[in-house]
Each structure stands twice: as C-alpha cells, then as structure tokens.
C-alpha cells in the first residue's frame, strides 16, 4: 500500500492517505485513490482470497475517488455487494449495506418521532434514520436490491443521488448537507428496466430521471472457472491436493451448469461461489460428497427441479445422485 501526503488537512474524518491501485488491487492502472489510514468499526473485514474483477473494481474505485454514484448490476450470486465491501475494506472506508426489500419504508430511512424519558418526563424527539446518519458521516452507503425498492423509498433516495444532494427533513426544518467523504452505491439484478427475463419477480422499473443520476453503471458476471476454483481452494485448503483439485474443478463445473440452467429458465435456484465453498466444507463434515450437496444446495431447490439438478450432478461428479432419503454420519 503506497501512502502519499496527508489529504485530510488535519481532519481525521476525511481520507488522510492515498493508495496505489496497482499495488493494492493488482490492476494495471496508475490511479491513486484516497483512503483512511485507520480502520473503524464500520469498515468491512478484508477477505485475502477475494478476486477482483477489473472493470467492476475500476468503477467502484472511481466512485470512492471522484464521488461518483455507482450502480453494479448482475445476476445474484456474482458478488456485487461483496465487491463493494472488499474495495471499501482495503481503503479502510466505513461501509453500510441496506437491503431495499418491501419492508424498508420511508420512515426507516429518514427517521421518526419517538417517545423518550428525559429528566423523568416523557418527551417526543426525532430519531434520525440511517440515511441522515450516513449522509453526515464518512460512510459508503450501499443500497442492495435497488430495483426492488418501494416507490416512496425511491423518491427519498432520488434527491441525495446528486453529488451535492441535500436531504430536507420537513418535520425538523433541517437541510442536511452530505459529508465530503459520503459515498453512495447500489446493486441491482436488472438495469432499471424491470423484470424482462422472468427471473426476478418483485423488481420494478426505475424512474429514468433517477437512473440518469447514477453516474456509473457496471455489470458483473460470474467468475471465470479457474478463478473460482482458486478461491474455493483458498477457503478450504484441505482440498489443495491433486485429487482435491479435480474434485473442486468438478464442483465448480456443476455450479456453472446451475447458472446456465438459471439463465435459461430451467431452474430457479443458482449456486454462487459461496455455495460451492459451503458444499466443500459440508462434504468434509459428513465425509459424503453427495449428502453434502443435498444439504447445501439440492434441498433448497423446487422439488420439480431436483431431477434436473441431479442430472447436473451426475454429469460433473460421475455418480448418480439418489433423490430418496440417504444416511450420513458426522466424522
């Protein structure tokens, strides 16, 4: 990690060093990115085995360095949110994720009045939500499942999407200006056009006025086969033998088949790299590759799709997967 002159001018709440993209992320790029010299509680943990996608990493780094609003799109299981977290971890940049599911409301983001005890008396005071707090702190705020957000929530976010976007709290007669080190990211399964493929029910079309406010939109696909094999081996080093590598190769090929089947609409559940790692760990726990696969992935699949998944297993592992009950034991 290459450090340069202080960037904070004595303010510890601003980035105070710069790092080399080439040295830190292994990218062929001369870019220098501001970072924090010290981590705090909201900084994600570094995953040393993480593999960075070149284009996605550059897009995220541009967001941190130049205060760009960055959206990362792709199928689930590709590691969109993790990618942002791992970049933030290496910059020591605090990072908070919010899942914009149907239960997240405008009140959750903005805040609400609450009754509290003060000097033995009940009084009403405004409790800020996550958005005002993040705006006022050196924080990277990540909205996951951005294309599944409720309309009332999306309009709250739209105003702060601008680089100088201020948040107006009408109930408090306050206007919150964003902290100079506040950054905004999002992840989505679609690019704001709704569910055109039939794979992601519940996603919405995003207002084009809002899409225009995202300065950078990147796409992230699944890892190349060999990269994924190396990640699994790094996470489960007991497989790092000649036979073990063959096994992991077959497991990743099976994951690739589930992804192709998912994209083609044959199955509705997909294996992520995390699923492969969990399968490898469970296979060791039970000393049974087939049973490990069942409890890790097969049992999560729709019953009508399990024969297709069993066929993937037979093609990759060379063994027929029995769909009836099986016995296993802990070792």
pLDDT at position 104, please?
Answer: 78
pLDDT at position 1, please?
Answer: 43
What's the mean pLDDT in 157-177? 74
DSSP string across 250-285: HHHHHHHHHHHHHHTTS-S----HHHHHHHHHHHHH
Q: What percentage of the chain has pLDDT greater than the value 70? A: 85
Look at residue 75 and give its three-state secondary structure. coil
**134 pLDDT above the threshold of 70:** yes
CA atoms within 13 A on the CB side of 83: 32
Q: How confident is the model at residue 172 (pLDDT cuts 50, 70, 90)?
A: low
pLDDT at position 207, please?
Answer: 65
Query: CB within 8 A of 267, min separation 6: which ones?
Result: 258, 261, 301, 302, 305, 308, 309
Question: Could you tell me the pTM of the whole model?
Answer: 0.79
Instruction: Give the single-character DSSP code of 205.
Output: B
| 198-236: pLDDT as tens digits | 444 445 566 676 788 899 999 998 889 999 999 999 999
What's the mean pLDDT in 157-182? 78
Query: CB within 8 A of 88, min separation 6: which ones?
Result: 43, 44, 64, 94, 95, 140
Q: What is the mean pLDDT of the chain?
A: 84
Q: Please say whether the beta carbons of 86 and 144 come within 8 A.
A: no
Cα angle 259, 262, 268 (rounded to 5 degrees) comes to 125
Q: How confident is the model at residue 262 (pLDDT cuts 50, 70, 90)?
A: confident
pLDDT at position 171, please?
Answer: 65
pLDDT at position 163, please?
Answer: 64
Q: Please say whether the beta carbons of 180 and 171 come within 8 A.
A: no
- Cα–Cα dist 2/24, whole Å: 8
What's the mean pLDDT in 131-156? 86
């Amino acid at each position: 990690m290459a450090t340069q002159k202080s960037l904070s001018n004595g303010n510890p709440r601003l980035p105070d060093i710069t790092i080399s993209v080439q040295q830190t992320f292994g990218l062929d790029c001369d870019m220098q990115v501001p970072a924090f010299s010290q981590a705090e509680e909201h900084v994600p943990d570094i995953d040393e085995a993480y593999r960075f996608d070149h284009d996605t990493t550059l897009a995220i780094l541009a967001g941190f360095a130049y205060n760009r609003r960055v959206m990362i799109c792709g199928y689930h299981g590709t590691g969109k949110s993790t990618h942002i977290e791992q970049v933030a971890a290496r910059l020591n940049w605090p990072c908070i994720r919010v899942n914009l599911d149907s239960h997240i409301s405008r009140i959750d983001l903005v805040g609400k009045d609450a009754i509290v005890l003060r000097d033995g008396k009940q009084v009403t005071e405004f409790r800020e939500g996550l958005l005002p707090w993040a705006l006022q702190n050196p924080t990277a705020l990540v909205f996951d499942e951005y294309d599944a957000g409720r309309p009332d929530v999306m309009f709250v976010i739209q105003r702060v999407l601008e680089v100088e976007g201020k948040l107006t709290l009408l109930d408090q007669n306050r206007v919150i200006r964003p902290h100079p080190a506040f950054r905004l990211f999002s992840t989505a399964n679609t690019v704001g056009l709704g569910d055109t493929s039939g794979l992601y029910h519940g996603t919405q079309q995003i207002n084009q006025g809002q899409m225009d406010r995202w300065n950078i939109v990147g796409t992230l696909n699944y890892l190349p086969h060999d990269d994924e094999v190396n990640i699994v081996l790094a996470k489960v080093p007991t497989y790092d033998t000649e036979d073990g590598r063959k096994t992991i190769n077959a497991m990743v090929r099976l994951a690739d088949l589930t992804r192709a089947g998912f994209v083609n609409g044959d199955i509705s559940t997909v294996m992520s790299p995390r699923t492969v790692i969990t399968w490898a760990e469970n296979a060791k726990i039970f000393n049974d590759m087939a049973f490990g696969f069942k409890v890790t992935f097969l049992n999560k699949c729709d019953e009508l799709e399990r024969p297709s998944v069993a066929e993937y297993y037979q093609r990759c592992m060379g063994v027929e997967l029995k769909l009836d009950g099986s016995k296993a034991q802990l070792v």
